[in-house]
Structure 1
Amino acid sequence: MKQFSTIVLLLASTFIFSQNTLQGTVTDNDTKEGIAFANVYFPDLEKGISTSDDGSFTIENLPNGDYKIIVSYLGYETQSLNITIPTKDPLKIMMIPSALEMEEVIVSTPFHKLQSENVMKVERQTVSELQQKGAVNLSEGITNIPGVESVTTGLSIGKPVIRGLSYNRVLVYTQGVRLENQQFGDEHGLGINDSGIESVEVIKGPASLLYGSDALGGVLYLNPEKFASINTSDGDFGGKYYSNTLGYSTNAGYKSSGDHWQFLFRGNLAEHSDYNTKDYRVTNSRFREQDFKAGIGYLGTHFKTEFRYNLNVLKPGLTEAIGIQSKRRSPMLGFQEIYNHVFSSKSSVFFNNSSLDVNLGYIYNDRKEFSEDLGYNEAGLHLKLKTFNYDIKYNLPKLGKFETILGLQGMDQTNGNYGEEFLIPNARVNDIGFLAVSHIHFEKADVQLGARFDNRNVNDTDSGEKRQFNSFNGAAGIKTDIAKNITARVNLASGFRAPNLAELTVDGVHEGTNRYEKGNIDLKIEQNFQTDIALEYKNEHIEFYANGFYNKINDYIFIAPNGQIIDGNDVYVYSQNNANLYGGEVGFHLHPHPLDWLHIESSFETVTGKLTNDNYLPLIPANSITNTLRVEFDKNWFKNGYAFVSLKSTFDQNNTGAFETATSGYNLLSAGLGGSIKLFNKEAILSISGTNLTDKTYINHLSRFKTEGIYNMGRNITFGVTYKL
């Protein structure tokens, strides 16, 4: 007890109990006039304020230490400053006018820097930007990010694909915690609704250093909407109508913050009938989704914490063939009923020039599948996956040019069967990992180095079979300006993935794929090494980027038929071989002077995947190029207006896996218009967008309907309105 008291006193002594106040002004560099409503934000403290009419601001209750402050406003370059608190003199921030979009802090990588400061290349887009392009849901929206696609089962189920890798090779993070929802399955989607999600970040490449097993291919990081600014309240409600599915989506939310306490909630309901192609409606592709998010937070001088909860209920129909043509929204047999609960807490304690971050999560995934054989009252397949995960990081005091983080991450997971069908066993999985990563800032370059050790234990509680997997991984990267306005990034990283429960132990008919699957208890871990090179040129009116990668994966796990038949189903067995993936993305963004309102954007993406026996890997996206013409305008009666026309050209995919069919290329035309008006002295945001405007009949290479020859969705017009309270 005495030793414990001594430790507590030592920790307490590191606090500086003074409460500091920061004052300053934000002005235009050319006119020297103050900028009203500019955002001044401390990302580490999650505390900020908007400037007053004269550009001045005051932020109170700040702890001692070195912090980054981000200042942003539309039409100006985002400023990132390192300051030491307490500071004697008021802060004077000069903003430089720019036609470029505002930069945001990247949360998915350590040290929380702007992308222009980041050693790793991370793609970031707001959900509102993805929605403007006509996406029906989040899974469809992320396909607008270069290098990202989605394996789909109709509209309701989609799984992220990053540079050709998907399923358990891509991690999804939401509310700051790792999402686990049986993602090994073909018909198991994200389990997340875009309602209440502010932005999406994508790490393309091995991120095992930061996230452990299953981040071998990359990370999809979903940032929840922020709490309201201090002493403010915001509310909104709205809806969308989708012409193709005769569907709708409603959405309402409210948030409020005082000096210390914050809270928010948001609800969403969506229903869609079978999606329509030029020739037919796709039978039982209909679905219903309900989503509720809530959060409460506390902001103190030396401590901040937040607790969030998300319930997502998805009821998707399971399409087997084209049959009954209907406009009903209630799924027929068979269908799934999925309840996904995400509980998360995120806390930080601020010491003198250092801090401790603790993120905890509990995910409860309850999945039922109803078939024609058993009817509506009894689920044939019923799985319950319960996952507790933790992520603890200590941000050491800065030592000269060094910023360093030490971390401990882990997961404890149980899988239970409660239905008649038995696909994977009752089992328990336990992960633990230790990491250290440093960012070194030199005058002409930034360097990032890190290392990590992980251990995973898999215990089949039915048979008593146990497996243990260990892995050491590391990463090194450098960012430097090789010429005026030209930035280069080189990243070398290893990653790993331990075999999942299905690959190790599955023994039964997987109804979603109509095949008998057999696991392989002797599988080894997948281990990869990726080289990633990124070049970027940027000035006031043009941006150009070129990203290339080479990813070598040892002991790549894949499934293939062995020639046997059980109960009329082909038998598929999990095996391993080495594989290589390579490709990249190239693009540019032009906004010519003096036509700063005009934006011309183009991007090209390509990836090739092969086993060492020269066979192509399955589910590799086809090459594609996207060209977009976008205009922005601002009128007295129509604010923040935009309009765009986009053409996505997808090429033939003839480089197919051994048991995969080729797909033909196609062109998809999209367009949209939107902005805000004053309605009853409040802001109303209006939008209309159209996808596949030519009503093209096509099959995406990553559609699981392609083996049945079922087309993807035809023409769709989306009408949306959001009213701010």
Structure 2
Amino acid sequence: MKILLLILCWLPQLAVAQAAEVTGAVRDQQRQPVPFASVGVVGTTVGATADAAGRFELRGVPAGPQRLRASAVGFAPAERRVTVAAGAPLTIDFGLTTSAADLGEVVVTGVSRATELRRSPVPIATLGRREITLNANTNVIDAAVRGIPGLSAVTTGPNVSKPFIRGLGYNRVLTLYNGLRQEGQQWGDEHGVEVDGYDIERVEVVKGPASLLYGSDAVAGVVNLLPALPDGPDGRLRGDVLNEYQSNNGLIGNSLGLNYQNHGFQTSFRASHRMARDYRNSVDGLVYNTGFRELTLTGMVGLSKAWGSTHAYLTLYDNRQEIPDGSRDSLSRRFTRQVFESGLDDIKNRPLVGEEELNSYAISPLHQRIRHYRVFTKTQVHLGGGELHLLLGAQQNNRKEFNHPTAPSQAGLALQLTTYTYDVRYHLPEWQGLQISVGSNGMGQLNRHQQATDFPIPNYDLLDAGGFLLLKKPLGQLELSGGLRYDTRLVTWSDFYVAPNPATGFDAQVQAGTAGAQLQFPAFRQWYRGVSASVGGSWLATERLTLRANLARGYRAPNIPEIGSNGLDPGAHIVYLGNRDFRPEFSWQQDVGALWHQPTVDVSVEVFHNYVQNFIYQARLLDAAGQPVVIVPGNTTYQFQQAAARLYGLEASLSLRPAALPWLTSTSNIAFVNGENADAARLERDGPAARYLPLLPPLRVRTELRATLPAREGARLTATYFRASLDASARQNRFLALDNSETATAGYALLGLGAGTTLTSRAGRPVAQFVLQVDNVFDTPYQAHLNRLKYFEYYAASPTGRTGIYNPGRNVAVKMVVPF
């Protein structure tokens, strides 16, 4: 590690080159300015955002041959090849043509080098800052789910969303922050993503095995959350102030961002704070204990020069998140709260929650507190005719769940997870068109309990490392790519004893030999190894039609709860039991896609099939009489199991831009996935109830109609739009019915309306951006199939005929962004 840090410090000394300034304007087919377009130098971090008049300035452009690229939402990207002379200013104008599909957009996640979307054999989808800003969401994962078909989320209230890709989630989906893998106890149902959504410039999603580049935990795909780099003129402090309010849970969000650059030096800072009280719907009223209070600080400092770039990031995240349990009065259906410990607690005699508490922003005593600290460096250097990429990171996640009503300051769950990460890649110089990339990445982890009373998993140490080789070769209109990877992981822990603490009355971790000590986690040591591979290609069959296909073998080592669980997760209200004999999962996925583009129509269709060996899933534990096992009263008991599984489905999208109505766009997409148990012996033993896999998203269709008023020279209001959306989910009859693990979910359709505009100064500079959005206009009561609160119910029947907790009702959101 020390050697790598020394190399990082000296890399900027390896090469020195001069740079120049490039200015110009971005316009559309009618020669009208394209406000706030993005302009950058391909393969570097040099970039800028055009102003409201479409004008841009690029500083620090490396001398020599370069590819300049301009892009904007609703337009096809355009490129210009230029030769930049050191110290000589250059003026370049771009003309963009209307396009909603952005098939020429460049992506970096899941591919060896920056690649156009249409040329990637692996399905990749993106969501830009403008689309994130135009939606009102309580977290960045929900924003991505709205805009990317095939992506869904398991939710616990409005602020905890775990990404699922094509029916697979948890440790099968790898979440990255700017390329750094996010490690924060993501195995748990109620654990969200510790990232500031206001800071995210772009989301890139790989749909399908990405184990080749990232190793274990990317067997279902990758979600990469990318922050912005400074893009203003040299020597000028820039930034923005964001204010947001949402009516449903009274969410108040504020964020201040600052950025500065001068002759290649870059720095940025963002502070964001959000708070919300309990959310509301027409069935449950205010849902008790669903509020939160979140603070995030993000800082960056770096250099961007002709030799490459290096940036260092530091993020601090602090979230107090209430923990709902769904207890309520059996007749009135009003929510109640726990006041005694489990031994004395009687669900039928809990007091009612008052209106004042339901409407309060104060965080209740029963809550979880998550603090996540992250520091890492990213370096890119032109070296030996190729490019070296190096990422070094360290992060720590401190998670406490306060679940003792008689001792509110005593955490039930208290875990400290420390992770050290490295990722090094070298892109060799092209040889006869062949692009070769080699690299290695991995991590070391230590997870420790901190003065806890509940111990669902053991203290453990983890070492993970893998190496890969990637090849890409263009053959005219055909482009082939493939590669190979080998991974190894070592998981160890020592004997872990638990005994009652006489001073507190709660359990505590103790040493062997302590009076009353019980061995909860016997010592464990296991190596896991796996080979991943991928081969695919894209073919530009015509100027408008692109065909692509990919075959991939993915690998995933079992996570700690799956092999080591033996206790209550208080936030999930579930006792988990693991299996120490689990083997790694291996998947074989086939993807076939077709993309059609023309000026007025874009169509894409993606079909996939995924066979998973040794698939690990949860199912309720029953006793010999077929009755649910209750280890901790008021909590269900689940045991992890392993079997073969098969998933298949499709995603399709259609974008229309009528030539007669250039201001109007219509976008529709559909996503379907089905997952079934492929183990014949288990199906014979358990019957039809075990046919389907758990947590399958239903068939989903989303349509949006957007009208954008044409830009007028000298107008003070620009980029004004009106939008209407319909988000519909079909009834989900494909669920894991074994032991009543899941139930069917009714279908629903939600109407959304929105509008927005940007106020500009007389000089054409943006002054403020305004967004108004109404979700669930008709206040439709519904339960999403992947909403965990749907199953938070203590009674077998309800006087209203409705059980569980429903999703949020109507929400009116207003947002204002003031750039400076």
Q: Same fold (TM over 0.5)?
A: yes
Take 1:610 and 1:478, find their aligned partners in 2: how far apart are those partners?
29
Equivalent residue in structure 2 for 1:276, among 266, 277, 280: 280
CA-CA distance at 1:198 after TM superposition: 0.4
1:190-205 matches, within 5 Å, as 190-205=193-208
**Equivalent residue for 1:42?**
41
Kindly state the Cα deviation for residue 485 of structure 1 after the two structures are TM-superposed.
0.5
Match of 1:490 among 549, 565, 569: 549
Does residue 535 of structure 1 match 2:630? no
CA contact (8 A) 1:76 1:96 kept: no
| Equivalent-residue separation in structure 2 for 1:514 and 1:37 (angstroms) | 47
User: In the aligned structure 2, how far is the partner of 1:121 from the partner of 1:449?
Assistant: 14
Residue of structure 1 in register with 2:167 after alignment: 164
Percent of aligned pairs with the same amino acid: 28
> How many residues are paired up?
717
Q: Does 1:605 align with 2:671?
A: yes
Residue 435 (structure 2) aligns with: 403
Two-structure CA RMSD over aligned residues (Å): 3.0
- Could you tell me which residue of structure 2 aligns to residue 549 of structure 1? 608
TM-score (norm 1): 0.92
CA shift in 2, pair 1:217/1:82, >3 Å: farther
Residue 231 of structure 2 corresponds to residue 228 of structure 1: yes
CA contact (8 A) 2:121 2:536 kept: yes
Structure 2 residue aligned with 1:139, among 99, 121, 141?
141
CA contact (8 A) 2:60 2:305 kept: no
Q: Which amino acid aligns with 2:172?
A: R
2:732 counterpart of 1:653: yes
> Which residue matches 1:695?
779
Contact 1:642/1:674, CA 8 A, preserved across alignment: yes
Output the CA distance in 2 between the equivalents of 1:676 and 1:410. Answer: 44
- SS of the aligned residue for 1:348 comes to strand
Matched, 1:617 2:697: no
2:127 to 117, 125, 128: 125
Structure 2: which amino acid aligns with 1:348? Q
Inter-partner Cα distance in structure 2 for 1:587 and 1:241: 31
Which deviates the most, 464-473 or 679-688?
Answer: 679-688
Alpha carbons of structure 1 residues 434 and 592: separation in structure 2 relative to 1, 3 Å:
same
Q: Is the 8 A contact 1:198 1:224 kept in 2?
A: yes
CA distance in structure 2 between the partners assigned to 1:278 and 1:348 by the alignment: 53
- 1:72–1:562 CA distance, 2 compared to 1 (3 A): closer
Partner of residue 481 from structure 2, selected from 448, 462, 469: 448
1:173 equivalent among 176, 192, 195: 176
User: 2:457 corresponds to which letter in structure 1?
Assistant: I
Paired residue secondary structure (2:107): coil
C-alpha displacement at 1:100, in angstroms? 1.4
Aligned residue in 2 for 1:671: 753
Give the ranges of 4+ consecutive aligned residues of structure 1 lying more than 6 Å apart after TM superposition: 11-16, 22-38, 50-58, 82-94
- What letter is aligned with 1:474? A
Indicate if the aligned counterparts of 1:563 and 1:570 stay in contact, CA closer than 8 A: no
Match of 2:768 in 1: 684
Determine the structure 2 residue equivalent to 1:357: 389
8 A Cα contact 2:176 2:224, kept in partner: yes
SS of residue in 2 equivalent to 1:451: strand
Q: Distance in 2 between matches of 1:574 and 1:162?
A: 21
Residue matched to 2:338:
none
Structure 1 pair 442–523 and aligned structure 2 pair: CA distance change class (3 A): same
- How far residue 54 of structure 1 moved from its aligned partner, in angstroms, is 12
Equivalent in the alignment of 1:298: 303
Kindly indicate whether residue 62 of structure 2 is the aligned counterpart of residue 62 of structure 1. yes
Per-residue CA distance 1:613-662 (angstroms, 9 max, x = gap): 45100100010111211111135131111110011111100111022111
Q: CA deviation at 1:18?
A: 4.8
Secondary structure at 1:705 match in 2: helix
Q: CA deviation at 1:573?
A: 2.1
Q: 1:422: which partner in 2?
A: 455
Tell me which amino acid in the other structure corresponds to 1:660.
E
Q: Matched residues in 2 for 1:97 and 1:387: separation?
A: 44
What residue is the counterpart of 1:576 in the other structure?
A: 642
Residues 676 and 194 (structure 1 numbering): CA distance in 2 closer, same or farther, change over 3 Å? same
Verify the 8 A CA contact 2:41 2:61 in the aligned structure 1. Answer: no
2: CA distance, partners of 1:254 / 1:51: 17
| Cα 1:720–1:626 shift into 2, 3 Å | same
Q: Which residue of 2 aligns with 1:265?
A: 269
Q: Which has the higher strand share?
A: 1
Q: Distance in 2 between the 1:48 and 1:267 partners?
A: 23
Asked whether the 8 Å contact 1:364–1:384 carries over to 2, the reply is yes
Deviations 1:519-566 (A, max 9, x none): 111100000010011111111111011111001100001122332433
Deviations 1:45-82 (A, max 9, x none): 21135799998977656266x76542346786422467
Kept in 2: contact 1:262–1:297 (CA 8 A): yes
Alignment of 1:551-570 (within 5 A): 551-564=610-623, 565=629, 566-568=631-633, 570=636
Q: Distance between the aligned counterparts of 2:29 and 2:747, measured in 1?
A: 50
- Return the offset for 1:487: 0.7
Q: Does 1:111 align with 2:113?
A: yes
- Aligned equivalents of 1:13 and 1:425: distance in 2? 43
Q: Per-residue deviation at 1:251?
A: 1.0
Change (3 A) 1:397 1:637: same
Partner of residue 720, structure 2:
641
Distance 2:188 2:492 in 1: 20
Cα 1:74–1:589, aligned 2, differ >3 Å: closer, same or farther? closer
Kindly provide the CA deviation profile for residues 474-521 of structure 1, in whole angstroms up to 9, marking residues without a partner as x.
111111122341111101111111011111111112223433322111
| DSSP 3-state at the match of 2:198 | coil
What TM-score does the superposition give when structure 2 sets the normalisation length?
0.82
**Whole-angstrom distance in 1 between the partners of 2:112 and 2:124:** 12
Contact 1:437 1:449 in 2 (8 A): yes
State the 1:13 CA deviation. Answer: 14
Moved more, 375-384 or 163-172: 375-384
**2:11 and 2:317 mapped to 1: Cα distance?**
40
| Alignment check: 8 A CA contact 1:242 1:718 kept | yes
The DSSP-based 3-state class of the residue aligned with 1:466 is strand
Find the partner of 2:563 among 498, 501, 504.
Answer: 504
Deviations 1:583-631 (A, max 9, x none): 0111200011031110111111100001114510010001011121111
AA aligned opposite 1:656: F
CA contact (8 A) 1:233 1:256 kept: yes
Using the alignment, how far apart are the partners of 1:593 and 1:392 within structure 2?
Answer: 48
Q: Distance in 2 between matches of 1:146 and 1:196?
A: 23
Q: Which letter does structure 2 place at the counterpart of 1:720?
A: K
Note if contact 2:26-2:70 (Cα within 8 Å) is conserved in structure 1: no
Equivalent residue, structure 1, for 2:492? 459
**SS of residue matched to 1:362:** strand
Taking a change above 3 Å as real, the CA distance of residues 416 and 83 of structure 1, as seen in their structure-2 partners, is: farther
Q: CA deviation at 1:460?
A: 1.1
> Which one-letter code corresponds to 1:718 in the other structure?
A
For the residues of structure 2 that align with 1:693 and 1:76, how far apart are their CA atoms? Answer: 30
Runs of at least 5 residues in structure 1 that lack an aligned partner in the other structure? none
Equivalent residue of 1:504, what SS?
A: helix
In structure 2, do the counterparts of structure 1 residues 515 and 196 end up closer, same or farther at CA, with 3 Å as the change threshold? closer
| Stretch moving more, 112-121 or 493-502 | 112-121
Amino acid at match of 1:138: V
1:98 maps to what in 2? Answer: 97
1:243 and 1:28 map into 2 onto residues whose CA distance is 38
1:160/1:274 CA distance change after superposition, 3 Å:
same
Query: 1:433 maps to what in 2?
Result: 466
Moved more, 561-570 or 335-344: 561-570
| CA 447–82 in structure 1, closer or farther in 2 if over 3 Å, else same | farther
- Deviation track 1:227-248 (CA, whole Å, cap 9, x = no partner) reads 2345043121121111111221
The counterpart of 1:287, out of the listed 281, 287, 292, is 292
Measure, in 1, the Cα distance between the counterparts of 2:726 and 2:33. 41
Aligned equivalents of 2:695, 2:57: Cα separation in 1:
52
